Structure 1
Amino acid sequence: MEIALLVLYGLCLAFILGFSLAQLHLTRLARRAYRQMPAGVPGPMAAGQWPRVTVQLPVYNELYVVERVIDAMAALDYPADRLHIQVLDDSTDDTVTLAAARIAHHRARGLRIDHVRRTDRQGFKAGALGHGMQQTDGEFVAIFDADFLPEPDFLRRTIPYFAEPGVGVVQTRWTHLNEQDSLLTKLQAFGLNAHFLVEQVGRTAGGHFINFNGTGGVWRSTCIADAGGWQSDTLTEDLDLSYRAQLRGWRIHYLPLVAAPAELPAAMDALRSQQFRWNKGGAETARKHLGSVLRSGVAPSTKVHATFHLLNSTVFIAILLMAVLSVPLIFAREHLPEFKPVFQLASLFLLALAPLVYYYFTAWRLAEPTAPWREFVPRFLLFLAMSMGLSLHNALAVLAGLAGRKSAFIRTPKLGLGKQVQWQQRYRTGGLDGRTVLEGLLTLYFLFGLGAGLYFGNLGLLPLHLLLTTGFGLVFYYSVRHNRLAA
């Protein structure tokens, strides 16, 4: 039993190390890309050459941000006769009335803007986007979620990159309107910055598959059609279509220097709904496309990175298994002293962290170039702990995705800056449940492991148990606190 325990623990650790090494390679590619990044951008188009662009705003019960996002789209600096805005509104509350009023206002000013309503939410966001495509003649389609506030020159800075006929998508970098609101938003920004400033840049530089991030980007309409259109059989319709397009030979051009500001989830239940959708959808997309990628004619290195890309959510299963097994591992070590050198391999968890430190430090330096370096260490450790604390929630989402279990698309509510209290009461995605109780019990479990390690003098797992206790404790604390505030 002890040997089986150690083997399973080692397999989890090996998977995490492999994922870390993939991130290390992307970091090196990204750093090289930044050194070689051209200073210029494609030249502006002549007045009569700007193509027809449709801006799609998929909306569902966004009472606090719908007016703001419509006004932001109306402020886009683009030839009015070439611009079409669609508010794809599946709302069932007062959002409909607010959106209609702003649409009427901008239409009276001469803007081509339509309020597109459906009789049901079939296909959720993917269904709304596909429905909108049937009612527009745009050569290109820009997509923004309701919490995004792009600068007026967004289209003028992105559309010229479609001069290359093989480019099917132009994706921009997310920035964060409410990053400084709380520790929760700061840690989310820390993680997302690594994806947008390092991972996406590294994949692009290496010629590997990347993904449209669901918003803050522009699609070539013929690319969407050629790839099979929007499909709703996964919760990550963006990742799904990205892979179908790239398997058809289309390229995604990533622009890290063009920002698309948006809000971060400010409460734990909103963060949970977002994490569930991303992780379950990622697993569903892996189930759908990984075989096609491995059978395709792309380079072996691209297949390796695509495998880690599509399976990156499964790292939470490995983290959770490794975490749960680590406590009995302490006692197994005491009963099998002859295996002491082997058990010391458990300390290799710290080795698996080394590439991730490099990855996140690179992103942090790019995002915060003037911040003192010593601020990185606590931010990184807290982010790592919080990620571990979400491993139970995310692992269950991944298992559901791999098993093919279907679930509704639960969008992440946007609260509008300064409207936290109203939102928490109106747009909640769930209260406390058995999962939250289990996270609280796991906090005590890893605290016990921390004490056991100190008692037996087994300090190799001490950093792991300290992170796990902190992470699960933080997730449990925020879940209870935000539930009480919303009560």
Structure 2
Amino acid sequence: MSTLILSIEGTLLLLTIVCFGLGRKYHFLKQVLIIIYIITMMIYLGWRIGWTIPTNSIFSIILGVILILAEIGGFCLSLVFYRIFYKKFHRPIQKLDVYKDGHYPSVDVLIATYNEEVTILKRSIVAALSMKYPSQELVNIYVCDDGSRGEVNQLCQELGVHHVVRATHEHAKAGNLNHALTVSQGELVVTMDADMVPRTDFLEMTIGYFHNPKMGFIQTPQTFFNDDPYQFNLFATNTIGNDQDFFMRGIEQQKDAFNATMYVGSNAIFRRVALDSIGGFATGVITEDMATGMLLQAKKWETGFVNENLASGLAPETFGDLIKQRDRWARGNR
């Protein structure tokens, strides 16, 4: 009996190693790995429940049950995660040629800024001005300056874009964007952070999806043209990806299959009437971006993800900045 068990274990181990090694090339092997994981975890949990609960005292029984419940909870969470990745998903490309009548929606580009360097902001504005669109008069750029800076106003005048300020500054970035909605009127609204530099084909690659009247927003990944702290300190620019890539390029793409794309604060396009249906960008939360996306999905708007590197910005350059960013995300999403 022990020889048979060892033989089964050896076979499973070998199969796991083979599937792991070739999984990147052959997706079905990833599916095999997931199935192996589920089977082995169910066997393990069955063993834990049936043979490992301590019985020497009430206190030990309670602690043993709590530990098993925690393991079962972790297993249930992993089932959700692996369900997302079980089948590959990639949204079909839909370009501007879907507007066969030549009637293209008007677009407002909102660039949110507070205290970023003017040189960084200028780069983003110039890139936004360079975006291609069949009817350029339908594109308006609004620099939403919550710092109310004179040098930013001067820059906007030089570049011929709208400079938007407000008398009060409640609700931080969400309030800034909501104020910009009151002074603009485009059918679609693009949100960009001050450091994000869109590609010239950003609009050409995203606006076509709004031919579907139920589409609420389209998210594109945030990518970065500088090294994050891990890449920089490990001298690994060309050997490891940015630490956000797994979420921005992997998880977001797979969540798209379930209409669960997350709005990540920049590089996204919204239908204005969809935003109006939820009262604008969500306020009263730390992570207004995720809340806004969830509110739209709760209102039955469709959402999508275009897995193309259409805009790049600056990643946190120090571990201090990185920790501050992730702390905000963690507290806002708890």
Task: Compute the TM-score of the two structures, normalised by the length of structure 1.
Answer: 0.51
Q: CA deviation at 1:165?
A: 0.5
Distance 1:40 1:167, change over 3 A: closer
Q: Which residue of 2 aligns with 1:142?
A: 190
Match of 1:224 among 271, 275, 286: 275
Match of 1:198 among 243, 250, 253: 250
Separation (CA, whole Å) in 2 of partners of 1:258 and 1:75 = 16
1:101 aligns with 2:154: yes
Give the letter aligned to residue 23 of structure 1. Answer: F
Q: Residue by residue, what CA displacement relative to the aligned partner does 1:311-367 show, whole Å, maximum 9, x if unpaired?
A: xxxxxxxxxxxxxxxxxxxxxxxxxxxxxxxxxxxxxxxxxxxxxxxxxxxxxxxxx
1:160 aligns with 2:208: yes
Give the letter aligned to residue 123 of structure 2. Answer: R
Distance 1:185 1:155, change over 3 A: farther
Q: Residue by residue, what CA displacement relative to the aligned partner does 1:221-259 show, whole Å, maximum 9, x if unpaired?
A: 000001222231111112112111111110002111353
Q: Residue by residue, what CA displacement relative to the aligned partner does 1:134-173 show, whole Å, maximum 9, x if unpaired?
A: 0011100000111211101101211111000110101112
Separation (CA, whole Å) in 2 of partners of 1:253 and 1:68 = 27
Q: Which residue of 2 aligns with 1:28?
A: 86
Any residues of structure 2 matched to 1:324-473 within 5 Å, and which? none
Q: CA deviation at 1:42?
A: 5.4
Separation (CA, whole Å) in 2 of partners of 1:245 and 1:40 = 22
Q: CA deviation at 1:59?
A: 0.5
Q: Residue by residue, what CA displacement relative to the aligned partner does 1:265-316 show, whole Å, maximum 9, x if unpaired?
A: 1112211221122121112xxxxxxxxxxxxxxxxxxxxxxxxxxxxxxxxx
Residues 170, 254 of structure 1: 8 Å contact kept: yes
Give the letter aligned to residue 50 of structure 1. Answer: Y
What are structure 2's unaligned runs of at least 5 residues? 1-58
Task: Give the SS at the match of 1:257.
Answer: coil
Distance 1:11 1:190, change over 3 A: farther
Residues 185, 264 of structure 1: 8 Å contact kept: no
Distance 1:42 1:90, change over 3 A: closer
Q: CA deviation at 1:115?
A: 0.8
Give the number of the structure whose alpha-carbon radius of gyration is greater. 2
What are structure 1's unaligned runs of at least 5 residues? 108-112, 284-487
Any residues of structure 2 matched to 1:261-276 within 5 Å, and which? 261-276=312-327
**What is the number of equivalent residue pairs in this alignment?**
270
* Aligned Cα root-mean-square deviation (Å): 2.6
Give the letter aligned to residue 145 of structure 1. Answer: D
1:19 aligns with 2:77: yes
Q: CA deviation at 1:76?
A: 1.6
Q: CA deviation at 1:73?
A: 1.4
Task: Give the SS at the match of 1:144.
Answer: strand
Give the letter aligned to residue 155 of structure 2. Answer: R
Residues 123, 231 of structure 1: 8 Å contact kept: no
Q: Which residue of 1 aligns with 2:126?
A: 71
1:53 aligns with 2:99: no
Task: Give the SS at the match of 2:222.
Answer: strand
Separation (CA, whole Å) in 1 of partners of 2:194 and 2:163 = 14
Separation (CA, whole Å) in 1 of partners of 2:180 and 2:194 = 16
Separation (CA, whole Å) in 1 of partners of 2:324 and 2:317 = 12
Larger helix proportion of the pair: 1
Residues 188, 264 of structure 1: 8 Å contact kept: no
Q: CA deviation at 1:123?
A: 0.9
Q: Residue by residue, what CA displacement relative to the aligned partner does 1:350-408 show, whole Å, maximum 9, x if unpaired?
A: xxxxxxxxxxxxxxxxxxxxxxxxxxxxxxxxxxxxxxxxxxxxxxxxxxxxxxxxxxx
Separation (CA, whole Å) in 2 of partners of 1:70 and 1:156 = 18
Residues 107, 188 of structure 2: 8 Å contact kept: yes
Task: Give the SS at the match of 2:164.
Answer: strand
